Amino acid sequence: MNKPENREFAVVGKRLPRLDAPAKAKGEARFTNDLFLANMVYAKIKRSPLAHARIRRIDYSRALALPGVLAVVTGADAPRPFCVMPHVPTETVMAIDKVRYAGEPVAAVAAMDEETAEDALELIDVEYEELPVLLDPIEAMQRDDARIHEAFARNIHYESEQNFGDVEAALAASHLVIEDVFRTSYVTPAFIEPHAAVADYDTAQERLTLYCPIQMPHHLHRTLAEVMQMPMEKIRVSVPAVGGGFGGKTEAASCDLCAAILSRKLGRPVKVPYTRAETFAQNKGRHPCIMKLRLGFERDGRITGLDFDNTLDGGAHASWGIIVLFFTAALCHLPYRIANVRFRGRRVFTNKPSCGAQRGLGGVQVRMALEGALDQAADRLGIDPFELRMRNAVESGYTTASGVHVPHAEFKQCLRNVVRASGYLDKRGKLPFGQGIGLAAGYYTSGALFMLYPTHKPQATAIVRIDTEAGITLFTGATDIGQGSTTVLAQMVAEELGVALGDINVVAQDTALAPFDNGTFDSRVTYGTGQAVRRAAQDAKRQLAEIVAAMLGVPAEHLHYRGGAVASRFEPRKRVELRDAVARHVETRGSLVGVGHFAPPRRAAHRQPGGMSGPSPSYAFGAQVAQVEVDLETGRIRVLDYYAADDCGQPINPMSVEGQVEGSVMMGLGQALSEEMRLSPEGRLLNPDLHDYKMPTAVDMPRVHCVHVDSYDPDAPFGAKESGEGPINPVAAAVLNAVHDAIGVRFREVPLTPEKVLRALGKMG
């Protein structure tokens, strides 16, 4: 393991309370729906009841005549298409020519109060011409006569094929080939805070301020400029407290854009709050996948080749679709050594609310298939599943067939530690019938090279300002969506400057106050933004060192920051309080401002037509074990204990890392056992609420054991890698492998409901 000589930190690695915890605990945190501006009015959105239909006519004259109604807008008021992936914009703020899913916006009403706006929606008359509703991606590809978007033949949004090595020859020469099909379900992020937006357009200065819970404020900033045809410098996006995102708040929501359009039309603030049902209609959750694979093995269990075919159900619009397709391709190559890989995939439009970038995008699906196939191979080869994984596990310095380099990996340590902690080797195949244990593994990118707009500028910039008035202030564009990034980044500054966490002020998630940041997605904040933050603090130290070196009469390179003071490493008595050094700097040169940037290295990787390899400066690995009990009378699966070992590098805040792992396990168990958005044959959501959409609750949670892995990435800020998305990816696979150990039945689709279990046991017709 490549580790630094000194890992003795004063602030990094400590279990410190989050900076925002007191305000949230006391109910003082202000979320978007808590905002009330002077002269603010309310807006509601009219949504289509049909999943696929042409819009023949919209008449809103009766709505405008209702007392208290101030304005109505339709798609014609904002015709420019947009998308988080700007290359393929398919969506408009409100539908213009036709609707493509039940719940798509067709008009928005602003009124003096919510009730009046709601009443006005009923007075808007929309004449539709119904079209065929396509809910199954396989059927959608067969219905070129019923295109959801005219420009996309066979309703295929994008398709890709990548070939590395000679897959057919490798499989033909294999001792064993596992061939199987796996399916995942249609799930939504289900964050606790519904979408909401407050827009405030200043007519005098022609400036727009938008408040909303967006994970990527700088990208929403650009989308607003494009949709509203305004200069970016006239727009500000400010993010209040965020009640969870999980990828579902990475994109511009209809409420954001409708609020902005209506505010400019009226010249006064407009609030658009979503109901829970509207948040379900927005969706942008995980893609259902149909995955066909052939996985080859030598007699000793070493993997020879993989042929992976994936059909993604994308829903009505483009969203993150191409990126998710690419990720399912990239995630085939690790965490195991596979010399020959072929990926064929396609994302298909259907008449459902659009799928997007839910936590661990692409990983949950791919891991469920590959980890299930590995367990099948282990049984057929007579090799323990743990040993099979160890024989194929990657190590530091490995380069995939696609050219992706892994600089640091403690994957084997993850496997060993989780197996030891769970007693896996002593329990597998030896527990009473109905009880079982399952192993699965995965990985995820950390600080990946990822710009959604064509530019080579840094993906993160941070500023550290130090003076005698405000003390130490970190300015960062990264958004804290509940994962604790504000605290983690502040810990990095505190560690670098040798002060306490409480000495750091943070100004974040506001495009007018903080510098550009690519956003909170794809597990990039701790690694990517953390690099920029640390460099900004180091830049401030470099400038201050010129003053301190003269004050103490020592070389600048000998200075050491610790305990709120600056001292010579070799002459400890030569020291000065940091505040005094800063005061001298302010007196002689003014405020001290350090700036840091980060752009991931652009390592060359093999390129295939229509695809990409998913390079990242670092990768986090993990291995997990689930122990389950299957009720043989009801079919209900109860997860008793869950063990997770994660190679996340040096945890900046171990308490936050454990919270991320526990949250990932809970979300993964939901997909594995109960969560699924259900639609009628006409395409209407049947369970758009938290009563009928079956998420796990606290009483469903197993005992989660976070297993220690000694890891430190020397190229990462303070050795830290991601921990927020990778841990969700193996969960469904671990549960399905455990159920197979419990009852001898192998399942290949989720959610694994009691009904499916009973049918497999022969207890249902």
What is the predicted pLDDT for the residue at 611?
44
- Round to whole Å and give the CA distance between 34 and 618: 39
Buried b (16+ CB within 10 A) or exposed e, 317-353: bbbbbbbbbbbbbbbbbbbbbbbbbbbbbbbbbbbbb
What are the residues facing 629 on neighbouring strands?
A: 435, 638
Residue after which a domain boundary falls, among 549, 569, 598: 598
Mean pLDDT of 89-103: 97
Please check whether residues 742 and 709 belong to one and the same domain: yes
Please check whether residues 261 and 397 belong to one and the same domain: no
Is 678 among the domain residues? Answer: yes
Please check whether residues 394 and 491 belong to one and the same domain: no
Q: Which tens digits make up the pLDDT trace of 382-403?
A: 999 999 999 999 999 999 999 8
Please check whether residues 211 and 238 belong to one and the same domain: yes
Residue after which a domain boundary falls, among 242, 274, 306: 274
What is the predicted pLDDT for the residue at 454?
56
What is the predicted pLDDT for the residue at 447?
86
Q: Rounded to whole angstroms, what are the CA distances from 456 to 222, 582, 599, 632?
A: 16, 35, 8, 58
Please check whether residues 214 and 234 belong to one and the same domain: yes
Please check whether residues 463 and 438 belong to one and the same domain: no
Please check whether residues 411 and 484 belong to one and the same domain: no
**Residue 265 pLDDT class (50, 70, 90 cuts):** very high
Mean pLDDT of all residues belonging to the chain: 95
Q: Which tens digits make up the pLDDT trace of 136-149?
A: 999 999 999 999 99
Please check whether residues 253 and 397 belong to one and the same domain: no
What is the predicted pLDDT for the residue at 526?
96
- Round to whole Å and give the CA distance between 368 and 378: 16
What is the predicted pLDDT for the residue at 72?
98
What is the predicted pLDDT for the residue at 452?
59
Please check whether residues 520 and 633 belong to one and the same domain: no
3-state secondary structure 546-605: HHHHHHHCCCHHHEEEECCEEEECCCCCCEEEHHHHHHHHHHHHCCEEEEEEECCCCCCC
Is 490 among the domain residues? Answer: yes
**Residue 457 pLDDT class (50, 70, 90 cuts):** confident
Confidence check: pLDDT of 214 > 90: yes
Is 535 among the domain residues? Answer: yes
Q: Which residue has the tokens 């004259």?
A: 61
Is 7 among the domain residues? Answer: no
What is the predicted pLDDT for the residue at 616?
86
Mean pLDDT of 354-373: 97
3-state secondary structure 487-523: HHHHHHHHHHHCCCHHHEEEEECECCCCCCECCCCCC
Q: Rounded to whole angstroms, what are the CA distances from 500 to 121, 492, 539, 558?
A: 54, 11, 19, 22
Please check whether residues 474 and 444 belong to one and the same domain: no
What is the predicted pLDDT for the residue at 127?
98
Mean pLDDT of 481-488: 96
**Residue 522 pLDDT class (50, 70, 90 cuts):** confident
What is the predicted pLDDT for the residue at 94?
98
Residue type (1 letter), 188: T
Is 339 among the domain residues? Answer: no
- Round to whole Å and give the CA distance between 104 and 148: 13
Is 180 among the domain residues? Answer: no
- Round to whole Å and give the CA distance between 703 and 701: 7
What's the number of domains the chain is made of?
Answer: 3
Q: Is the peptide bond before 335 cis (omega within 30 degrees of 0)?
A: yes
Q: Which tens digits make up the pLDDT trace of 665-711?
A: 999 999 999 999 999 999 999 999 999 999 999 999 999 999 999 99
Confidence check: pLDDT of 199 > 80: yes
More confident residue, 272 or 88: 272
**Residue 612 pLDDT class (50, 70, 90 cuts):** very low
- Round to whole Å and give the CA distance between 482 and 656: 10
What is the predicted pLDDT for the residue at 247?
96
Is 16 among the domain residues? Answer: no
Q: Specify the 3-state DSSP secondary structure of 414.
A: helix
> If we measure between CA atoms, which residue out of 486, 403, 409 comes closest to residue 444?
409
Q: Which tens digits make up the pLDDT trace of 5-61?
A: 467 899 999 999 999 999 999 999 999 999 999 999 999 999 999 999 999 999 999
Mean pLDDT of 219-242: 97
Q: Is the peptide bond before 353 cis (omega within 30 degrees of 0)?
A: no
Q: Which tens digits make up the pLDDT trace of 632-670?
A: 999 999 999 999 999 999 999 999 999 999 999 999 999
Mean pLDDT of 513-527: 93
Confidence check: pLDDT of 427 > 50: yes
**Residue 455 pLDDT class (50, 70, 90 cuts):** low
CATH number at residue 73: 3.90.1170.50
Beta carbons of 392 and 301 less than 8 angstroms apart: yes
- Round to whole Å and give the CA distance between 652 and 720: 7
- Round to whole Å and give the CA distance between 221 and 218: 5
Mean pLDDT of 63-74: 98
CATH number at residue 699: 3.30.365.10
Residue after which a domain boundary falls, among 247, 274, 301: 274
Which domain, by its residues, includes 264? Answer: 42-131+195-274
Structure tokens at 382: 């007579």
Confidence check: pLDDT of 556 > 80: yes
Please check whether residues 493 and 443 belong to one and the same domain: no
- Round to whole Å and give the CA distance between 690 and 244: 15
Q: Which tens digits make up the pLDDT trace of 137-193?
A: 999 999 999 999 999 999 999 999 999 999 999 999 999 999 999 999 999 999 999
Q: What is the DSSP string of 713-750?
A: -TTSGGGB---SSGGGTTHHHHHHHHHHHHHS----BS
Is 189 among the domain residues? Answer: no
Please check whether residues 752 and 648 belong to one and the same domain: yes
